[in-house]
Amino acid sequence: MSSAYANRYLGAAEHLPLARSIYAEMRKYPIISPHGHVDAAMILANKNFTDPVSLLLSPDHYILRMLHSQGVKYESLAANSPEDNWKVLAANWKLFRSTPSRIWFQEILATLFDVSEILAPDNAMKIYNQINEKLASPEFKPQQLFKRFNIELLATTDATDDSLDAHIKLSQIDLGGRVIPTFRPDGVSDPERPDWKSNLAALGARYGIEITTYANLLAALRKARAHFKDNGATATDHGVLSARTLKLSSSETEVLFTKAFSGTATQSEISDFRAAMLFEHALMAADDGLVMQIHPGSLRNYDAQIYADFGADKGFDIPIATTYTRELQPMLNAVGKHPNFKAVLFTLDESAYSRELAPLAGAYPGLRLGPPWWFHDSLNGLERWRDAITETAGYYNTVGFIDDTRAFASIPVRHDVARRFDAGYLAREVSRHRITENEAMELAGDLAYNLSKEFFNL
pLDDT tens-digit series, residues 44-90: 999 999 999 999 988 888 898 999 999 999 899 999 999 999 999 99
| CATH 3.10.180.10, applies to 3-49+140-455 | no
Positions of CATH 1.10.2020.10 in the chain: 50-139
| Spatial contact of 265 and 273, defined as CB atoms under 8 Å apart | yes
Question: For the whole model, what pTM was predicted?
Answer: 0.95
For domain 50-139, give the fold.
Answer: uronate isomerase, domain 2, chain A (1.10.2020)
* pLDDT (tens digit per residue) in 137-185: 999 999 999 999 999 999 999 999 999 999 999 999 999 999 999 999 9
Mean of pLDDT over the chain: 95
pLDDT over threshold 80, residue 313: no
| CATH 3.20.20.140 in the chain, residue ranges | 3-49+140-455
* Interatomic CA distance for residues 331 and 334, integer angstroms: 5
| Beta-bridge partners for 345 | 294, 369
pLDDT(455) > 80: yes
pLDDT tens-digit readout, 87-135? 999 999 999 999 999 999 999 999 999 999 999 999 999 999 999 999 9
Q: How confident is the model at residue 368 (pLDDT cuts 50, 70, 90)?
A: very high
Longest dimension (CA), the chain: 67
pLDDT of residue 2: 63
Minimal CA–CA distance to 428: which of 445, 438, 440? 440
Distance between CA atoms of residues 373 and 36, nearest Å: 12
- Please determine, for residue 186, whether its predicted confidence score (pLDDT) is greater than 70: yes
Q: How large is the average pLDDT for residues 33-49? A: 96
The pLDDT of residue 415 is above 80:
yes
- Assess contact for 426 and 444: CB atoms under 8 A: yes
Local confidence band at 314 (pLDDT 50, 70, 90 cut-offs): confident
User: Is residue 1's pLDDT more than 60?
Assistant: no
CA distance 176 to 394: 33
Model confidence at 283, pLDDT cuts 50, 70, 90, reads: very high
Rounded percentage of the chain residues whose pLDDT exceeds 70: 99
Give the DSSP H or E segment for 204.
helix 196-207
Q: For position 37, what pLDDT does the model report?
A: 94
